[in-house]
């Protein structure tokens, strides 16, 4: 079994059919050691970014788009309906492009805590400020993601689905570092038990609906890895440049026990179009993996990824990133087997 490669979620451009075709082609065909995913195209507008796409998945909640971002409302506004329409179009395109494909595919959505830290309540400030509202939002997300997984299993039964929760705000939510709307204070830290319960609600719903795996991506430092794993997440996707020594030790324990897969964000994304070579990507992965001395079998539990999404890049370099990660996955597997 080899190491694999995948992307994180966002992709440049405004052509969803082309983006789906490209990710399937680069990561899912001709024996590629990759995990294709349904890309987000935020260049189409806020309706198609992470929060907009996730808003389209919610059940029983309405939203509208304000200058400050998405806000809960009594009924879906025109922007919410636009987000739903774009998601439905993307699912139709995925069904068309993935005909004949059998293998893994990842769906991405904002996780419950990043969503609570992003979406506003009807009367202002973030959902994060209200324990009842954040619980309701998490339950709505869980139901919506479960429905989406069940729908795709009907449409494309040969897929092995992973739901990826994007949680860049989770460490700040846990530490009480999310600012209030006024900017003069911060929201209270959320207790670990509540953080875990919301994640468990989502992971349980998507597994019950037929997802093979639940992944969590966090490109911020300070993620509570134990909390996330205990909540049922089976794949962690992390920026290697944000890992502490303690993080690496815990990831080593996780890989050694076979408790979860680990995605190593070895391609920096902060500078657009700055593509690393396959050899450089391989060196960055081995710099972390070799000292762990876990043997060649660890490769099957490792994915190589960009640190974050590739929105803001141009299409050519973004495509090169996927190709270089696939090649690096092959090189890492070879090096670990020596």
Q: Are 170 and 177 in contact (CB under 8 A)?
A: no
Instruction: Please report the pLDDT score of residue 208 as a whole number.
Output: 98
Instruction: Please report the pLDDT score of residue 301 as a whole number.
Output: 97
Mean pLDDT of 266-281: 98
Residue 47 sits at the vertex; the CA angle it makes with 42 and 49, to the nearest 5 degrees, is 35
Please, which pLDDT band fits residue 150 given cuts at 50, 70 and 90? very high
Measured over all CA atoms, what is the biggest interatomic distance in the chain, rounded to whole angstroms? Answer: 61
Instruction: Please report the pLDDT score of residue 30 as a whole number.
Output: 78
Token pair belonging to 216 = 């969590």
Range of the domain at 262: 4-336
Please, which pLDDT band fits residue 136 given cuts at 50, 70 and 90? very high
Distance separating alpha carbons of residues 65 and 43, to the nearest angstrom? 16
Mean pLDDT of 135-144: 98
Instruction: Please report the pLDDT score of residue 300 as a whole number.
Output: 95
The answer to whether residue 79 scores a pLDDT higher than 80 is: yes
Instruction: Please report the pLDDT score of residue 1 as a whole number.
Output: 77
pTM: 0.97
Of 192, 167, 185, 69, give the one whose Cα is nearest residue 127. 69
Mean pLDDT of 196-206: 98
The answer to whether residue 181 scores a pLDDT higher than 90 is: no
The answer to whether residue 182 scores a pLDDT higher than 80 is: no
Token pair belonging to 78 = 């025109």
Could you give the percent of the chain with pLDDT greater than 70? 100
- Structurally, the chain folds into a number of domains equal to 1
The answer to whether residue 34 scores a pLDDT higher than 90 is: yes
Q: Are 209 and 161 in contact (CB under 8 A)?
A: no
Strands 62-66 and 69-73 turn out to be: antiparallel
CATH number at residue 187: 3.20.20.210
Distance separating alpha carbons of residues 149 and 212, to the nearest angstrom? 10
- pLDDT tens per residue, range 4-25: 999 999 999 999 999 999 999 9
The answer to whether residue 322 scores a pLDDT higher than 80 is: yes
């Amino acid at each position: 079994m080899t190491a694999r490669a995948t992307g994180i979620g966002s992709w440049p451009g405004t052509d969803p059919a082309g983006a789906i075709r490209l990710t399937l082609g680069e990561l899912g065909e001709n024996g590629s050691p990759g995990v294709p995913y349904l890309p987000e195209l935020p260049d189409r507008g806020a309706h198609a970014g992470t929060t907009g796409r996730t808003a389209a998945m919610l059940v029983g909640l309405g939203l509208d788009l304000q200058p400050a971002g998405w806000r809960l409302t009594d009924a879906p506004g025109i922007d919410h309906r636009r987000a739903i329409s774009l998601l439905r179009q993307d699912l139709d395109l995925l069904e068309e492009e993935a005909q004949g494909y059998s293998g893994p595919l990842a769906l991405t959505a904002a996780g419950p805590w990043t969503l609570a830290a992003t979406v506003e309540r009807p009367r202002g400030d973030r959902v994060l400020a209200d324990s009842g509202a954040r619980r309701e939002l998490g339950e709505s997300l869980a139901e919506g993601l479960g429905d989406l997984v069940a729908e795709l299993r009907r449409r494309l039964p040969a897929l092995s689905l992973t739901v990826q929760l994007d949680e860049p705000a989770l460490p700040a939510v846990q530490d009480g570092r999310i600012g209030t709307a006024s900017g003069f204070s911060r929201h209270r830290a959320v207790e670990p038990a509540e953080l875990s319960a919301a994640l468990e609600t989502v992971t349980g719903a998507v597994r019950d609906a037929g997802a093979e795996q639940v992944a969590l991506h966090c490109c911020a430092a300070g993620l509570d890895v134990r909390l996330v794993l205990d909540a049922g997440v089976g794949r962690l996707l992390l920026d290697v440049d944000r890992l502490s020594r303690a993080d690496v030790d815990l990831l080593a324990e996780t890989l050694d026990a076979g408790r979860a897969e680990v995605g190593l964000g070895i391609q920096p994304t902060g500078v657009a179009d700055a593509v690393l070579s396959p050899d450089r990507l391989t060196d960055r992965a081995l710099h972390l993996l070799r000292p762990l001395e876990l043997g060649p079998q660890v490769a099957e539990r490792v994915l190589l990824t960009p640190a974050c999404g590739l929105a803001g890049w141009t299409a050519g370099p973004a495509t090169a990133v996927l190709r270089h990660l696939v090649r690096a996955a092959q090189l890492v597997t070879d090096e670990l087997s020596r």
